[in-house]
């Protein structure tokens, strides 16, 4: 078995602490974009449009440094720790800014800085003429720095620092056009939903510290042998709670579709390629802990699978060019967590990488289309853009095929390997759900693609679609190439170079002893996955290309209550509205009433009591000298009485 | 004489002074009653000085007399002032401390 | 005089003298005190107080404190009471009509308070020391029992050469109590100055108001003063509101800020006072 051979070759990494070489200057990777952020923010006035070049320069430096780090790490199966000054040192609790660089870090660095560089370049064209052009680039650099802190941190708290900072920059960028109230509230929704997960993450950190006495990865992983299964179970679920918010899993996925309010490059970078995968990164980073509790992983797998299914169903009936992609992102993230849950950590990261390529590409395509369509986003009012936007069309074609899982494009390899792994690890129902989701994915992405680029134009005369400028098409082409050949180059077979490189960095699942679900082998499973893609695309072709869709949305072929349900995203938002917003609001109002009437009442009551006492007792103050003398006498007599009682 | 007799006289004088303060409304009489009380205390001090054989009690009486002199000067000035302002010596008339 | 001399002899002298003098002076003192608080004529009351003070001076003599007796006569009976009488004469109030207006309840309260006070004082303080052992001049042989006090007498403290104790007191005042002594001097000075300032009749000397203000016309009247001027002289305020300030200042070159201070204020004892305004 190829698979078993691959898993057997897993070796534990040697930890090397070094301050020399390229690892020694790795701390520059997050610092340079941070400086870019500060510089652009401080010099907005003098830089003007040149701010973009500062930001691009900063991200390019980060990318080049990441390449250097990656070359060092990928050729040498070791984990490097770059010591940096201490952040917190309280009693036995020590947190440093150390960098933790292994193969997983290197992959994440390349993905993050690479996509970020492309999105920076793309934004030059996309954001041209925006009144807050400079600030946009400042925020992009802030996000990049935050994400790199997240990826490079050598302990959970540093990771959490980046985690919170990406949340902040995400909030700033979703609400970038905050003049529109719904955009501003979308930003708030994202921020608040993420806070829910942050609480879970923080409790996870408390538990981790209580259990391990440290938050450092190396120290924690060294103790996994003695970790109790129940503790690991709790830790996994708490960490997953944090990851579910950041990576938009059930039940905290609701913010991501709304996050499409941000500029499209932001959606591509943050809400498709990088930030939302932070949860996946966290889970894989903690995989040595995950493997201690298989039930915890099963829960992750099921939530991932259900998220993938739910989001795919919703995506089938979305009409907004970005909403489809947003739910698709949720669905694909579900795939990644499904992979983590079934013990396919490397497959998960592989899918993360390919997803960054093709979903980043698709979002940038969407941005290009929106740019050309004068900010229209309804896919029913597009169509026939193939001729007007050839570059966008061809790159979108590659992205579409990649996400649909058509070989030899990138998505096929990663998705197929997740499904295969789910089957071979004995999770039959999850495998079946994965296959269904693959069909659905192919279907809704084909619908998206066909409605935008094929058929007759449905946008009328007032819009004149045109190809986007060079700064936008070049990133499209680069990402299209990566989407096309990325999978093939990285990991064409199950024991490819990517997995071999990544092997030492993830948890070792050989001891779990997975049994295959059935007797099917890889040569059978792969055609099944291809078949799923073909079915999805074929059905979509019949519905949206062969049929007449010139009537627009009325031509939607799938009708009925289920479709209605899907169109309204299963009323999850409405349910949350009534459960959390209304009920929570009622509770808050009750507390506000309590505060205003009881708590403040006590305070005011104290004042009122003082006033009453004062009113009733002020009669004593007659202003008559002799009454005071009489009181004096009474007091003196009282003292004498006390003395008599006490002494005699 | 037993010391208690002096104390008894002192107590009587003090009480008379105090009753005077309670009874009279004329500021000057009030003031004279205060002098009475001061003197009764002085008597106590002198008696105690003899009993304990420590003449420091007499020094104390000396200082009390000095302070009383100063007090009388200021007090009478206040009374004069009061009379000029109010036209009366009735201590119940000024009620600035009344609520 | 013989009795007084014997009493001044101190503990060793004839006890009879002390007893006789004590009773004489005590009865005098208490009787005079009662007269002080009951007589309606204040001058009589003050004279009774003089008598009381003289009686106390006599009691000081029986207590071997002849210096105190002399000081009592000089300072209290001589100086302080003269001051009292002087004030009474100055204000011209020798009859206290207020005594007639005293309510019965007040009298009752005063009597009850006095009874309680004297009872308390006698029980709490007098009884404690009333025992044969505290009897001075009874000679040796009496030993103080538990809780009792032995009367020592002052002969030993004064020493053989200083029967009256003046030298002893002088020594004490200029050695151990020199700082209180100095402070007492300071206190007397301050009290004198304070009395001078307090008793001054401002309304009779308007030029004194200008002290410390070089050019009073330059100071605008405060709002409160203007309001007061309006309230006190409504007709005037009503007639020349526009030019009120210059007219008013021009009319009063002596420049008290308030016209009522000089022109309209009635002199005498029944004029409205500052304190009345404060109450309003």
Is there a contact between A624 and B91 if contact means CB atoms under 8 Å apart? yes
Q: Compute the nearest-CA separation of C37 from chain A (Å).
A: 15
In this structure, are residues C23 and C55 in contact, taking their beta carbons and an 8 Å threshold?
no
Residue of chain B whose Cα is closest to the Cα of A630: B22
**Average pLDDT, integer, range A566-592:** 86
Is B97 part of a structural domain of the chain?
A: no
Subunits with 3+ C-beta pairs closer than 8 A to B: A, C
- Picking from B92, B93, B94, B96 by the largest number of A CB atoms within 10 A of its own CB, the best residue to mutate is B92
Residue of chain C whose Cα is closest to the Cα of A639: C120
Of A163, A311, A182, the closest CA to residue A248 belongs to A311
pLDDT at A206: 93
Per-residue pLDDT tens for C236-247?
433 444 433 443
For A2, phi then psi, to 5°, come to -65, -45
Banded pLDDT at B34 (limits 50, 70, 90): very high
Residues in chain B closer than 8 A to C95 (CB atoms): none
pLDDT at A111: 93
Domains of chain C, residue spans: 2-153, 216-265
In this structure, are residues A389 and A359 in contact, taking their beta carbons and an 8 Å threshold?
no
Chain center to CA of C191: 12
Is B95 part of a structural domain of the chain?
A: no
CA dist C131 and A322 (Å) reads: 110
| Residue A222 confidence (pLDDT) above 90 | no
Residues in chain A closer than 8 A to B96 (CB atoms): 623
pLDDT at C55: 94
**Average pLDDT, integer, range A51-69:** 92
pLDDT at C140: 47
| Residue A89 confidence (pLDDT) above 50 | yes
Banded pLDDT at A143 (limits 50, 70, 90): very high
Per-residue pLDDT tens for A375-388?
888 888 888 888 88
Q: Return the minimum-mean-pLDDT range out of A629-633, B10-14, C101-105, C131-135.
A: C131-135
Higher-confidence residue of A453 and C8: namely A453
Task: Find the CB nearest C123 among A633, A636, A644.
Answer: A644
**What token pair was written down for C79?**
């100086």
Per-residue pLDDT tens for C268-277?
444 444 444 4
Residues in chain B closer than 8 A to C102 (CB atoms): 23-25
In this structure, are residues A265 and A122 in contact, taking their beta carbons and an 8 Å threshold?
yes
In total, how many domains does chain B have?
1
| Residue A84 confidence (pLDDT) above 60 | yes
Q: Which of residues 17-56 of C touch B (CB under 8 A)?
A: 18-19, 22, 26, 29-30, 33-34, 36-37, 42, 45-46, 49, 52-53, 56
Is there a contact between A624 and B95 if contact means CB atoms under 8 Å apart? yes
Higher-confidence residue of A313 and A9: namely A313
Q: Compute the nearest-CA separation of B20 from chain A (Å).
A: 10
- Whole-angstrom distance between the N-terminal and C-terminal Cα of chain B? 51
Q: Which of residues 62-81 of B touch A (CB under 8 A)?
A: none
Q: Return the minimum-mean-pLDDT range out of A425-434, C103-112, C173-182.
A: C103-112
**Average pLDDT, integer, range B54-71:** 88
Q: Return the minimum-mean-pLDDT range out of A206-215, A322-331, B79-88.
A: B79-88
In this structure, are residues A342 and A301 in contact, taking their beta carbons and an 8 Å threshold?
yes
**In this complex, how many residue pairs, one in chain B and one in chain C, have their CB atoms less than 8 Å apart?**
276
Which structural domain range is residue B39 located in? 3-86
Is B45 part of a structural domain of the chain?
A: yes
Q: CB A217: neighbour CB atoms within 10 A?
A: 24
pLDDT at A157: 92
Record the pTM.
0.64
Q: Is C178 at the interface with chain B, CB within 8 A?
A: no
| Residue A492 confidence (pLDDT) above 90 | no
**Average pLDDT, integer, range A552-581:** 79
Is B63 part of a structural domain of the chain?
A: yes
What is the ipTM for the molecules in this complex? 0.92
Banded pLDDT at C203 (limits 50, 70, 90): low
Q: Compute the nearest-CA separation of A603 from chain C (Å).
A: 33
The yes or no reply on domain C2-153 and CATH 1.10.1060.10 is no
Higher-confidence residue of B82 and A612: namely A612
Q: What's the CA angle centered on A112, arms A110 and A115, to 5 degrees?
A: 95
Q: Is C121 at the interface with chain A, CB within 8 A?
A: yes
pLDDT at A536: 92
pLDDT at C5: 55
For A26, phi then psi, to 5°, come to -65, -25
Please provide the average confidence, as pLDDT, over all residues in chain A: 87
Per-residue pLDDT tens for A253-306?
889 988 888 899 998 988 888 889 999 999 999 999 999 989 999 999 999 999
Higher-confidence residue of A569 and C268: namely A569
Task: Find the CB nearest B24 among C37, C137, C168.
Answer: C37
Q: Which of residues 122-141 of C touch B (CB under 8 A)?
A: 122, 125-127, 129-132, 134-137
pLDDT at A494: 74
In this structure, are residues C273 and B85 in contact, taking their beta carbons and an 8 Å threshold?
yes
Task: Find the CB nearest C109 among A630, A637, A640.
Answer: A630
**Average pLDDT, integer, range C45-70:** 91
CA distance to A41, A354, A408, A444, A536, per residue, from A487 (Å): 39, 7, 8, 22, 21
**Average pLDDT, integer, range A529-558:** 83
Q: Is C93 at the interface with chain B, CB within 8 A?
A: yes
Burial track A580-617 (b if 16+ CB lie within 10 A, e otherwise): eeeeeeeeeeeeeeeeeeeeeeeeeeeeeeeeeeeeee
pLDDT at C77: 84
Is B66 part of a structural domain of the chain?
A: yes
**Average pLDDT, integer, range A175-204:** 91
Banded pLDDT at C230 (limits 50, 70, 90): very low
CATH code at position B16: 1.10.287.3510
- Picking from C120, C121, C126 by the largest number of A CB atoms within 10 A of its own CB, the best residue to mutate is C120
């Amino acid at each position: 078995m190829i698979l078993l051979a691959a898993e057997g070759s897993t070796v534990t990494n040697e930890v090397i602490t070094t301050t020399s070489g390229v690892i020694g200057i790795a701390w520059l990777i997050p610092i340079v974009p941070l400086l870019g952020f500060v510089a652009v923010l401080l010099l907005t006035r003098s830089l003007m449009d040149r701010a973009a070049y500062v930001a691009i320069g900063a991200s390019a430096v980060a990318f080049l440094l990441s390449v250097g780090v990656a070359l060092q790490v990928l050729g040498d199966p070791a984990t490097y720790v770059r010591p940096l000054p201490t952040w917190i040192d309280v009693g036995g609790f020590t947190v440093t800014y150390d960098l933790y660089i292994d193969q997983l870090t290197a992959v994440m660095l390349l993905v993050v800085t690479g996509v970020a560089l492309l999105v920076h370049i793309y934004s030059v064209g996309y954001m041209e003429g925006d009144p807050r052009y400079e600030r946009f680039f400042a925020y992009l650099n802030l996000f990049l720095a935050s994400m790199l802190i997240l990826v490079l941190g050598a302990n959970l708290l540093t990771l959490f620092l980046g985690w919170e900072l990406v949340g902040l920059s995400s909030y700033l960028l979703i609400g970038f056009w905050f003049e529109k109230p719904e955009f501003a509230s979308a930003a708030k929704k994202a921020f608040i939903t993420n806070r829910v997960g942050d609480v879970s993450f923080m409790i996870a950190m408390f538990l981790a510290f209580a259990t391990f006495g440290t938050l450092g990865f190396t120290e924690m992983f060294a103790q996994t042998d003695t970790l109790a299964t129940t503790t690991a179970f709790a830790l996994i679920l708490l960490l997953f709670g944090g990851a579910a918010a950041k990576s938009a899993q059930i039940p905290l996925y609701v913010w991501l579709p709304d996050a499409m309010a941000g500029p499209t490059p932001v959606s591509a970078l943050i809400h498709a390629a990088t930030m939302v995968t932070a949860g996946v990164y966290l889970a894989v980073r903690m995989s040595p802990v995950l493997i201690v509790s298989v039930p915890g992983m099963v829960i992750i797998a099921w939530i991932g699978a259900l998220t993938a299914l739910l989001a795919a169903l919703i995506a089938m009936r979305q009409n907004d060019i970005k909403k489809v992609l947003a739910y698709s992102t949720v669905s694909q993230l579900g795939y990644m967590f499904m992979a983590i849950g079934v013990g396919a950590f490397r497959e998960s990261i592989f899918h993360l990488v390919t997803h960054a390529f093709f979903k980043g590409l698709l979002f940038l395509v969407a941005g290009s289309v929106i740019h050309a369509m004068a900010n229209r986003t309804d896919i029913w009012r597009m169509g026939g853009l193939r001729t007007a936007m050839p570059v966008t069309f061809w790159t979108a074609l590659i992205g579409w095929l990649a996400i649909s899982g058509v070989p030899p494009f990138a998505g096929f390899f990663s998705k197929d390997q997740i499904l295969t792994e789910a089957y071979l690890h004995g999770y039959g129902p999850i495998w079946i759900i994965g296959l269904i989701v693959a069909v659905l994915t192919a279907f809704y992405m084909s619908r998206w693609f066909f409605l935008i680029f094929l058929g007759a134009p449905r946008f009328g005369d007032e819009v004149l679609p045109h190809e986007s400028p060079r700064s936008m098409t070049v990133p499209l082409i680069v990402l299209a190439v990566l989407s096309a050949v990325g999978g093939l180059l990285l990991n064409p077979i199950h024991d490819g170079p990517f997995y071999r490189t990544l092997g030492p960095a993830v948890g070792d699942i050989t001891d779990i002893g997975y049994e295959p679900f059935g007797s099917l082998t890889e040569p059978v499973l792969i055609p099944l996955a291809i078949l799923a893609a073909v079915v999805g695309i074929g059905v979509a072709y019949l519905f949206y290309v062969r049929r007449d869709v010139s009537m627009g949305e009325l031509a939607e072929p799938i009708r009925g209550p289920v479709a209605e349900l899907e169109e309204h995203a299963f009323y999850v938002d409405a349910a949350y509205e009534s459960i959390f917003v209304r009920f929570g609001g009622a509770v808050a109002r009750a507390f506000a009433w309590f505060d205003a009437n009881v708590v403040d009442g006590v305070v005011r009551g104290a004042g009122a009591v003082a006033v009453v006492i004062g009113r009733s007792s002020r009669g004593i103050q007659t202003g008559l000298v002799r009454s005071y003398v009489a009181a004096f006498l009474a007091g003196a007599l009282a003292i004498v009485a006390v003395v008599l009682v006490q002494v005699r | 004489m037993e010391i208690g007799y002096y104390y008894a006289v002192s107590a009587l004088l003090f009480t008379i002074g105090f009753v005077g303060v309670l009874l009279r409304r004329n500021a000057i009489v009030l003031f004279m009653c205060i002098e009475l009380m001061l003197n009764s205390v002085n008597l106590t001090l002198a008696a105690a000085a003899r009993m304990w054989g420590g003449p420091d009690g007499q020094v104390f009486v000396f200082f009390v007399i000095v302070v009383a002199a100063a007090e009388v000067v200021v007090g009478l000035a206040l009374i004069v002032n009061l009379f000029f302002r109010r036209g009366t010596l009735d201590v119940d008339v000024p009620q600035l401390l009344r609520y | 005089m013989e009795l007084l001399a014997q009493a001044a002899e101190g503990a060793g002298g004839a006890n009879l003298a002390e007893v006789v003098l004590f009773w004489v002076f005590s009865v005098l003192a208490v009787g005079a005190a009662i007269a002080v608080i009951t007589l309606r004529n204040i001058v009589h009351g003050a004279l009774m107080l003089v008598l009381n003070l003289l009686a106390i001076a006599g009691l000081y003599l029986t207590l071997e404190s002849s210096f105190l007796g002399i000081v009592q006569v000089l300072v209290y009976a001589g100086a302080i009471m003269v001051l009292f009488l002087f004030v009474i004469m100055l204000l011209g109030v020798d009859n206290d009509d207020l005594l007639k207006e005293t309510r019965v309840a007040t009298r009752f309260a005063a009597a009850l308070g006095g009874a309680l006070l004297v009872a308390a004082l006698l029980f709490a303080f007098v009884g404690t020391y009333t025992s044969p052992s505290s009897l001075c001049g009874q000679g040796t042989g009496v030993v103080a029992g538990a809780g009792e006090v032995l009367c020592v007498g002052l002969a030993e403290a004064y020493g053989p050469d200083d029967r009256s104790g003046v030298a002893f007191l002088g020594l004490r005042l200029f050695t151990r109590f020199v700082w209180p002594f100095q402070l007492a001097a300071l206190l007397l000075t301050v009290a004198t100055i304070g009395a001078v300032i307090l008793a001054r009749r401002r309304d009779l000397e308007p030029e004194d108001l200008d002290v410390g203000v070089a050019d009073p016309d330059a100071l605008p009247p405060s709002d409160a003063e203007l309001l007061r001027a309006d309230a006190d002289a409504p007709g005037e305020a009503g007639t020349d509101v526009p030019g009120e300030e210059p007219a008013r200042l021009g009319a009063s070159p002596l420049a008290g800020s308030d016209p009522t201070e000089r022109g309209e204020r009635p002199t005498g004892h029944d004029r409205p006072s500052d304190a009345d305004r404060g109450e309003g």
